Amino acid sequence: MIRNAFTLRLEADALPAYRRHHDNIWPELVAEIERCGIGTMSAFITESTVFYYSEIREPGAWDDLWKTPTHDRWGELMKPLIAFTEDGTVDAHPLNEIFRLENSSESTDIRLAYSLRLEPGALPQYRKQHDEIWPELVDEMSRCGIGRLTAFAADPVVYYYADLLQADAFDRLFATEIHDRWAGTFEGQLAFTGTGQVDVRFLDEIFHLDTAAV
């Protein structure tokens, strides 16, 4: 499978309707999604931005879906809910994968996503350090129940998607001494909120589809 991610901005107060429509997604749209080669997709929300993570069978799967008459009709339904740029295009942005960790091939229904804001210009160094992640940290992540972890960047924000083998996997990891040492190596790279906390936000899942299970 090919991993793919993008963000989509909604209009203010559009989330309830957007979520309701996805809770009642058309069967014919699901059939098109599967036919175009999109195996799974999950959507998570942070403020007005939806983070989509998907696993696709062909590089052009999403383009194929967006060209179908069924998706055109779905797009018209979504149009009042989605934000547009000044030039009239949908405010959506592809994300670049910058990190991938796979500790387990075991299947799981526990999904998690979060965003992390970096300081301007910090992304190259942040990526370099993840390219050289400590083996002992990888072992700790596996022990805590983090099966797979993928990071995508839209500078200066990094979006993470994880498949967990245990629901409290990140809480367990954050409580370890090795994670404290790892976090200390990112001084000057991480942005902080007005209250002095690292600007990390855990996202709520609002939609999931696994076409193999439909």
Domain ranges of the chain: 2-93+204-213, 96-202
Three-class secondary structure of residue 94 per DSSP: strand
Question: What pLDDT score does 54 carry?
Answer: 98
pLDDT-flagged residues of the chain (< 50)? none
Question: What pLDDT score does 194 carry?
Answer: 93
Q: How far apart are the first and last CA of the chain?
A: 18
Say which CATH topology domain 96-202 has: Alpha-Beta Plaits (3.30.70)
Same fold, 2-93+204-213 and 96-202: yes
Question: What pLDDT score does 212 carry?
Answer: 73
In the chain, the percentage of residues whose pLDDT exceeds 90 is 97
Query: Which parts of the chain fold into alpha helices (H)?
Result: 15-23, 27-35, 61-66, 69-78, 123-131, 135-144, 169-174, 177-184
Q: Closest by alpha carbon to 116, among 175, 207, 169, 183? A: 183
Say which CATH topology domain 2-93+204-213 has: Alpha-Beta Plaits (3.30.70)
The structure tokens listed for 87 are 């030039």
